[in-house]
Amino acid sequence: MVKKLSKKDTFGDSIDEVIGICTEQDLSLKLSELEKDSKCLIDGLKADVLKKQEEIDLLQKVVEESEETVHSLEKCISELENALGEKDQLVVELKAREKLVNDQKAEFLTSLADTESKLQEAKKQYDHMLESKHLELSKHLKEISQRNDQAINDIRRKYEVEKQEAVNLEKEKADQMIQDVEKKYEQKIEDFKEESQQHLLRVHDEHATLISNMLIKKRDSSLSTLKN
């Protein structure tokens, strides 16, 4: 006689424990193994039924051929009835087993659908979280870009200020140099004017002396001529 199996005897764990730890792939594998075991059991039961049927046929043939006594016939009939009873019992157990397999299959399909629903919900939550992280990252990158732009602008303004200060400093130095050169040349011009004035005075004095000497010589020459 085939022993009936509970859901826990069949899988070693309760349905709730299986759902808690199995992934979608594990559930598919469990379902495939369950169908395989069910098919093997059904085939075995069919083989037993066929074997019993052959025994019944053999008993019937023996009864027809040997014409045994009524006692033997009754015994064969009793054995035949027992075999038929076992057959009916096997058929009943097979149907019960098929119903159990179908119920477990339906339960697993329900659990699989529930698991898929939970996975879809988890995926939605993950996508939402990923989108939020992406927006947060974009905002952070934008803030960094703005700070970088501000820093670059500050550096540029500082450079322009320092550049202008350097230009102004160089301009002041250049103006100072020009003023020094102008003062120097003005002094030289003044010195040259003074030297020119003194030279002019010397030339004037020399010219006056020369004219005076010429006049004296001319006067002496005239006096000498008059005396002669």
| CA distance from start to end of the chain | 197
The pLDDT-based confidence of 203 (bands split at 50, 70, 90) is confident
State the virtual CA torsion across 55, 60, 62, 68 in degrees, nearest 10: 130
Furthest CA-CA distance within the chain: 225
Give the separation between CA 64 and CA 56, rounded to whole angstroms.
12
> What's the token pair of residue 130?
């990923």
> What's the token pair of residue 155?
């550096």
Per-residue pLDDT reduced to its tens digit, 125-138: 888 888 888 888 88
**Alpha-helix runs per DSSP H in the chain:** 7-11, 15-21, 24-66, 70-227
Q: Backbone phi, then psi, for 23, in 5-degree steps?
A: -90, 175
pLDDT of residue 14: 47
Per-residue pLDDT reduced to its tens digit, 24-72: 777 778 777 777 777 887 777 788 778 878 887 787 776 667 665 666 6
Burial 42-55 (b: 16+ CB within 10 A, else e): eeebeeebeebeee
Per-residue pLDDT reduced to its tens digit, 204-222: 888 788 888 788 777 777 7
DSSP 8-state secondary structure symbol assigned to residue 14? -
Per-residue pLDDT reduced to its tens digit, 4-22: 334 444 444 444 554 544 4
Per-residue pLDDT reduced to its tens digit, 75-125: 767 887 888 888 888 888 888 888 888 888 888 888 888 888 888 888 888
Read off the pTM. 0.29
